[in-house]
Amino acid sequence: MSRKLFGTDGVRGQANSWPMTADMALRLGAAAGRYFSQGGENGHRVVIGKDTRRSCYMLENALTAGLTSTGMNVLLLGPVPTPAVGYLTRSMRADVGIMISASHNQATDNGIKFFGPDGFKLSDEAEAAIEAILDGEIAPAEPLKIGRAKRIDDGLGRYVEYAKTTLPRGASLRGLKVVIDCAHGAAYKAAPEVLWELGAEVIALGVSPDGFNINREVGSTHPRTAAETVVANGAHIGLCLDGDADRVVMIDEHGQIADGDQIMALMARRWAEEERLNDGTLVATVMSNLGLERYLHSHGLRLERTSVGDRYVVERMRAGGYNLGGEQSGHIVMTDYATTGDGLIAGLQVLQAMAEQGAPASQLMRQFEPVPQLLRNVRFAAGQVPMAADGVQSAIRSAEARLEGCGRLLIRNSGTEPLVRVMAECEDRVLLEEIVGGLVDEIEAAL
């Protein structure tokens, strides 16, 4: 079954523009309710979380109306991280979980992500089935079987307590000064609280959401302020979450930034040494640096690559029985603890390593020397298909031939924004600039 509405991470768009309208959210809620209620009998439940965007109120109310119209009982969690929704869906025996968030995107965007009763994101087949229901007439529940909605006050607290249990009993972060940047997003309460309760000295940034400042010059996509704060305050480490806290980048004591590849390298090595890394395998996407692959190989470990998107990482992990994976962007998936990327719990794993080894962040977060990598984005308008142009295809073939044996090239459309992403890796930096620059020029000419 094909999907038109869903992308690589749920449904996304600009708030109050299709498909992120109240009308579409209502119909999407009704379609999801019909799919999961299997007939509309009362008793089915759904948990809904959100980040801190102003538009979340509109979409939350519309989804609730659609879901209750098909007999679903709605439990409203308020602002919580995306991984909390995955956890609470399973913990509270819900039939479906929904997170309203556009993750690292600007405040004017929003999105809707669905989780199944097992806490994992829906498969392509399930999303396609919901779209098929959406295309037809959605039968409402009988008047006496309309669902109810209520606020859940302890959802955030449940997640905070669970996050702490992912460290060994008695583990403490005392003596560590930690800068935590919450991007004015969904973890603005949970993350500082977890770190403080575990004993860390906490300096919190991005914890004053106003509905419009989420990800604005803060968080995992803008870590410079946090880096400056780490250095200015003599902190041991900085953790930068994104708007829904399912990804993290880290900053060492010198203000140097470490991406998801370095974090995964550290965790893979530690877990392998502790005989915790299933089948000696890490799962990552095609975007992860070639240096990571070489590093793992040097330690007798294996890297499996997937398409871009943490959902595809998770699908491969579940299919192969692997328990560690993620993305260069900072999604770190640990299925021993979470059903999706969890920036806070990943950060706790690194902090535990620091506490146990007494090693500085600069040592732990520079596990390998990255192969030079260059990524540039080209934005296009609705209806344009720049990749189909003959000149672009010819330029791609030429670039691949030049990189053969010395690097690699990856060109793809973003699954969350109208962008063509052009990425190449090569030890020769001059060649790297020539290839990526030439391809960007060709794509822009096609537009």
User: How confident is the model at residue 3, as a pLDDT?
Assistant: 65
Print the SS3 string covering 389-439. Answer: CHHHHHHHHHHHHHHCCCEEEEEEECCCCCEEEEEEEECCHHHHHHHHHHH
Q: Check: CB of residue 326 under 8 Å from CB of residue 317.
A: no
In a domain, 105, yes or no: yes
Residues 178 and 313 occupy one common structural domain: no
Question: Helices H, strands E: what count in the chain?
Answer: 14, 18
Mean pLDDT lowest among 116-130, 326-340, 375-389 = 375-389
Residues taking part in catalysis: 103
Rg (alpha carbons) of the chain, rounded to whole number: 22
Residues 65 and 144 occupy one common structural domain: yes
Under the banding of pLDDT at 50, 70 and 90, the label for residue 2 is: low
Residues 29-41, mean pLDDT to the nearest whole number: 81
In a domain, 192, yes or no: yes
In a domain, 164, yes or no: no
Instruction: For residue 410, give the CATH number of its domain.
Output: 3.30.310.50
Q: What is the pLDDT of residues 272-329, one digit of tens each?
A: 999 999 999 999 999 999 999 999 999 999 999 999 888 899 999 999 999 999 999 9
Angle at which helices 82-91 and 343-357 pack, to 10 degrees? Answer: 100
Residues 123 and 75 occupy one common structural domain: yes
| pLDDT value at 415 more than 80 | no
Residues 29 and 92 occupy one common structural domain: yes
User: How confident is the model at residue 40, as a pLDDT?
Assistant: 42
| pLDDT value at 39 more than 50 | no
Residues 241 and 268 occupy one common structural domain: no
Say which residues have a Cβ less than 8 Å from residue 356's Cβ, sequence separation at least 6.
Answer: none
Q: What is the pLDDT of residues 172-227, one digit of tens each?
A: 999 999 999 999 999 999 999 999 999 999 999 999 999 999 999 999 999 999 99
Residues 23 and 131 occupy one common structural domain: yes
Mean pLDDT lowest among 107-111, 153-157, 418-422 = 418-422
Residues 295 and 399 occupy one common structural domain: no
Q: Alpha-carbon distance 305 to 73, whole Å?
A: 39
In a domain, 165, yes or no: no
What does pLDDT average to over the chain? 94
Report the domain count for the chain: 4
Instruction: For residue 284, give the CATH number of its domain.
Output: 3.40.120.10
Residues 247 and 276 occupy one common structural domain: no
Mean pLDDT lowest among 107-116, 277-286, 294-303, 408-417 = 408-417
In a domain, 160, yes or no: no
Q: Which domain holds residue 178?
A: 172-254
Residues 346 and 412 occupy one common structural domain: no
| pTM (2 d.p.) | 0.89
| Backbone φ and ψ of 184, nearest 5° | 55, 35
Q: In the Cβ-directed half-sphere of 187, how many Cα atoms lie within 13 Å?
A: 38
Residues 224 and 248 occupy one common structural domain: yes
Residues 52 and 78 occupy one common structural domain: yes
Q: Which of 341, 364, 387 is the last residue of a domain?
A: 364
| pLDDT value at 159 more than 60 | yes
Q: Alpha-carbon distance 82 to 89, whole Å?
A: 11
| Element of type H or E holding 184 | none
Residues 404 and 386 occupy one common structural domain: yes
Long-range contacts of 58-61 (CB under 8 A, 24+ apart): 58/15, 58/16, 58/22, 58/25, 59/15, 59/20, 59/22, 59/25, 59/100, 59/110, 59/112, 60/100, 61/22
Q: What is the pLDDT of residues 349-401, one digit of tens each?
A: 999 999 999 999 999 999 999 999 999 999 988 778 888 888 999 999 999 99
